[in-house]
Amino acid sequence: QQVWGLPARQVDPAALWRPKAGSIDAGEIGDLDLENCYVFHGHIGTMDRIVRHRVFACPEQDMDNLQTYIQPNTQLFLLDIGTRRLLGPFLPNGVPGWNLVDAFRGRYPAQVPILPSTELKQAHFGRKVVPFGRLRTEESRMLMDRFRDKARIAPDDVLQAWGLDPRGAAP
């Protein structure tokens, strides 16, 4: 199995950690790549830790998928399953690893460090099902079409929580 072009057993997450802090300029992210999106789910009990530690996390059985499908240019999204709001895009800030931060009491040891886009957007999905994980092209297309149609710059409090300046966000 390969992780970022290297055999998984040879990957040291600390060695591949991006030295970048803050956020990713929206121009660096570019257009949504429908074949390279990954959706994470969060809930009221995890959202504050996700934001504080800038890490998306999932159960250990998902690590193979994280290592297989999350590449440096994978566009990441976060669905708050309580509010049904999808937030993104984010980019990985390093390779997926085990327990990169001790924030989830061992429940979600498969983790990927992330950086938000300077133009973090949010869309409400109501009762629409938003799948978890890597999206197949058809699912990606439907999800991203809806995201493009519905997404607006995230509210000021959300931007501030991610350390972004609401005045600097494009409409």
> Range with the lowest mean pLDDT among 12-21, 43-52, 101-110?
12-21
- Report the sign of the C-alpha dihedral through residues 169, 138, 130, 3, in that order: negative
Reduced to 3 DSSP states, what percent helix, strand and coil does the chain have, rounded to the nearest 5?
A: 25, 30, 45
- Phi then psi for residue 158, to 5 deg, are -70, -45
The 10s digit of each residue's pLDDT in 121-138 is 999 988 777 788 888 778
Task: Output the six-digit token pair for 55.
Answer: 């890490």
Torsion of CA 60, 32, 145, 51, to 10 degrees: 50
Per-residue confidence at 171, pLDDT binned at 50, 70, 90?
A: very low
pLDDT for 8 beyond 60: no
pLDDT for 60 beyond 60: yes
CB 133 within 8 Å of CB 39: yes
CB 61 within 8 Å of CB 105: no
What is the pLDDT, as a whole number, of residue 23? 60
CB 100 within 8 Å of CB 56: no
The 10s digit of each residue's pLDDT in 103-115 is 898 899 999 999 8
- Phi then psi for residue 84, to 5 deg, are 65, 30
